Amino acid sequence: MKKRIALVLAIILIASIFVGCAKQAVEPQKEVGNESNDIVTDVLVIGGGGAGLVSAITAAENGANVILVEKMPMLGGNTIISATGLTASDTALHEEAGIPFTVEDHIARTMDMGKDLPDLELVTILAEESNTAYEWLVSLGLSYKLNEEEPWWIIPTEGHYGSQLVNAYVSEATKQGVDVRLETKATELVTEDGKVVGAKVVDKDGKELDIKANAVILATGGFGNAGDLIGEYNPNYAGAHSIMSTAGPTGDGFRMAVEVGAGMRDMEFHQMRPLATPGYWIRESVISEEGIGGILVNKDGARFANETLKPLDLVPEILAQKDRVGYVIFDADVFETKNGTAAVGKGKMIQTDTIEELAEALGLNAEAVGATVAAYNEGQDEFGRETMGKVTKAPFYGVQVAPSSHYTMAGITINADTQVTDENGEAIEGLYAAGEIVGGLYGSGRVAGNNTTENIVFGKRAGKHAAGK
Ligand code: ADP
């Protein structure tokens, strides 16, 4: 609860800083044209999450005038809800702890998780520059420790990870004089002779503006909140919920880039969580581990799938149910496991003394759920579940879950200088991209924590190159 309050306060703080500062703190860019509908700048950054902020800071540090447009009333995107930490290799923390996680380990882990599908050149850059990214965060005043059991993880010494990151980026952007325009949505890239020369935006008063720039950096995040794009490329996930995303990542940058000829890759991969709740994804082991009794029921109180299916195979099974939701139900034995305890606390599961009370609290028919649990406890199963457990030991726990997008692993293609490339690998002049919008770092599986590193490593590259350095 405390963490949530802290997060909300941080969000309000960031929003209020920028509502003020967007208006007066920074040098206004040149406005030209008859009705002041044209603005000229060196670098236009579209999107104010982690990648956009880092790109903007770096372009400004390299001497460019920078406008950053963010369509939401606040900065942060999905970066602000990042929960855990970053992945970095060969850092001072590894050396101090005497626990190695080398650049080679970092590359190998990233390639393994992505089944060798990631772009090795981009992955090598990510790993080699990850320590610089980590040291930069420390230079911004952030404090981290090593997760010694899983030494790829570098985690905050205290506090909420995502909001700390965004707070630090925002103060640095302010210091560097980035002209941040909130509630300003980019709608289209403007090209001349095949070169991107700016973008059309709609500002908070609904006024259409043309922002002309030597370079445009797309940092609009993924499409976690764009059901149409998820379903188009992954029909199995059509109708997925987006409760793990903020409102902004609707694939705008992806669509705009494709419109001007950008290539795309790994479109068949989207990181989904079948058992998502608002604010937490329940680990699937609570319904799938050997001998574990957790089950999934639908709104009719009936089981509908083999709960031990692979997580991604469970997604369409749940999406096929009424309202595209399910209910995780388990007993005290599952609660005793690490993931069970976490699910109850962070997943805000309801606890009751009887299955019937649980069903009622979940808004389900008590008789139907009672009969489902009794049949399951007798070993009855029509879905091919081989590792049946029992749901018999009070108290009982339950919560509604919905398959949700967690991370967009697919995206547009870039080269090592973060120039957006077309289907033939040729750079589209004037157009750069960084962050979740980009494909190539993950393939079919994401190393969690690489996304912060990606934002910094490629955001810095984008800012530098866009500034002409
Ligand atoms: P990343 O981790 O790649 O930085 P985030 O999700 O943190 O991605 O941030 C992406 C940001 O881009 C969000 O704040 C989102 O609101 C913003 N955004 C998305 N589409 C547009 C758009 N058309 N114009 C301006 N900002 C946008």
CB atoms within 10 A of CB 263: 19
Interval between CA 232 and ligand 1 midpoint (Å): 21
Residue with structure tokens 């699910």? 343
Provide the residue-wise pLDDT of the chain in tens; the chain has 469 residues: 334 434 444 444 444 444 333 333 344 455 544 456 789 999 999 999 999 999 999 999 999 999 999 999 999 999 999 988 999 999 999 999 999 999 999 999 999 999 999 999 999 999 999 999 999 999 999 999 999 999 999 999 999 999 999 999 999 999 999 999 999 999 999 999 999 999 999 999 999 999 999 999 999 999 999 999 999 999 999 999 999 999 999 999 999 999 999 999 999 999 999 999 998 999 999 999 888 889 999 999 999 999 999 999 999 999 999 999 999 999 999 999 999 999 999 999 999 999 999 999 999 999 999 999 999 999 999 999 998 999 999 999 999 999 999 999 999 999 999 999 999 999 999 999 999 999 999 999 999 899 999 999 999 999 999 999 8
398 lines ligand 1 (CB under 6 A): no
Query: Can 2-269+409-466 and 272-405 be said to share one CATH topology?
Result: no
- For residue 299, the 8-state DSSP code is T
CA distance 55 to 388: 51
Q: Is the CB of 248 under 6 A from ligand 1?
A: yes
Report whether residue 49 contacts ligand 1, using a CB cutoff of 6 Å.
yes
Q: How far apart are CA 269 and CA 320, in angstroms?
A: 20
Superfamily of domain 2-269+409-466: FAD/NAD(P)-binding domain (3.50.50.60)
* Distance of CA 256 from the midpoint of ligand 1 (Å): 13
Residue nearest to atom 15 of ligand 1 (CA): 248
* Neighbour-count burial of 447, counting CB atoms closer than 10 A to its CB (0-12 exposed, 13-18 middle, 19+ buried): buried
Q: How far separated are the first and last CA of the chain, in Å rounded?
A: 45
Q: Are 56 and 65 in contact (CB under 8 A)?
A: no
| Residue in 379, 377, 368, 277 with CA at minimum distance from that of residue 328 | 277
Which of 18, 220, 408 gets mutated to test ligand 1 (max ligand atoms within 8 A of its CB)?
A: 220
The sign of the torsion formed by the CA atoms of 219, 221, 225, 227 equals positive
Query: Which residue's CA is minimally distant from atom 17 of ligand 1?
Result: 47
Ligand 1 centre distance from Cα of residue 14 (Å): 15
**Residue 76 — φ and ψ, nearest 5°?**
125, -35
Atom of ligand 1 nearest to the CA of 434: 3
Report the distance separating Cα 71 and Cα 203, nearest Å: 8
The alpha-carbon radius of gyration of the chain (Å, integer) is: 24
Compute, in angstroms, the gap from residue 25 CA to the centroid of ligand 1: 22
- From the CA of 61, how far away is ligand 1's center (Å)? 21
Is ligand 1 within 6 A of the CB of residue 47?
A: yes
Given this model, what pLDDT does residue 16 score? 41
Q: Are 422 and 207 in contact (CB under 8 A)?
A: no
Write out the two tokens for 249: 């990542």
Give the span between the Cα atoms of 318 and 296, in whole angstroms: 9
What are the backbone angles phi and psi of residue 9, rounded to the nearest 5°? -65, -40
Q: Distance (Å, rounded) from C-alpha 372 to C-alpha 364? A: 12
State if residue 221 touches ligand 1 by the CB under 6 angstroms criterion.
yes
Q: How far, in Å, from the CA of 252 to the mean position of ligand 1?
A: 8
Give me ligand 1 centre to Cα 345, in Å. 30
**Ligand 1 binding pocket includes 411 (Cβ within 6 Å):** no
pLDDT of amino acid 36: 62
Residue 229 DSSP code: H
Q: Which CATH class is domain 272-405?
A: alpha beta
Domain ranges of the chain: 2-269+409-466, 272-405
Overall residue count recorded for the chain in this entry: 469
Answer yes or no: are the C-beta atoms of 258 and 437 closer than 8 Å.
no
Cα–Cα dist 446/444, whole Å? 7
220 lines ligand 1 (CB under 6 A): yes
What is the bridge-based pairing of β-strands 396-407 and 271-277? Answer: antiparallel
**CA 74 / ligand 1 centre spacing (Å):** 10
Please give the number of the atom of ligand 1 that sits closest to the Cα of 220: 12
Taking the C-alpha atoms of residue 319 and residue 276, their distance in angstroms, rounded to an integer, is: 12
Give nearest CA residue, ligand 1 atom 23.
186
453 lines ligand 1 (CB under 6 A): no
Q: Which alpha helices (H) appear in 176-268, and where do they start and end? A: 227-233, 252-259
CA of 90 to the centre of ligand 1 (A): 30
Counting atoms of ligand 1 from 1, which one is nearest the CA of 69? Answer: 25
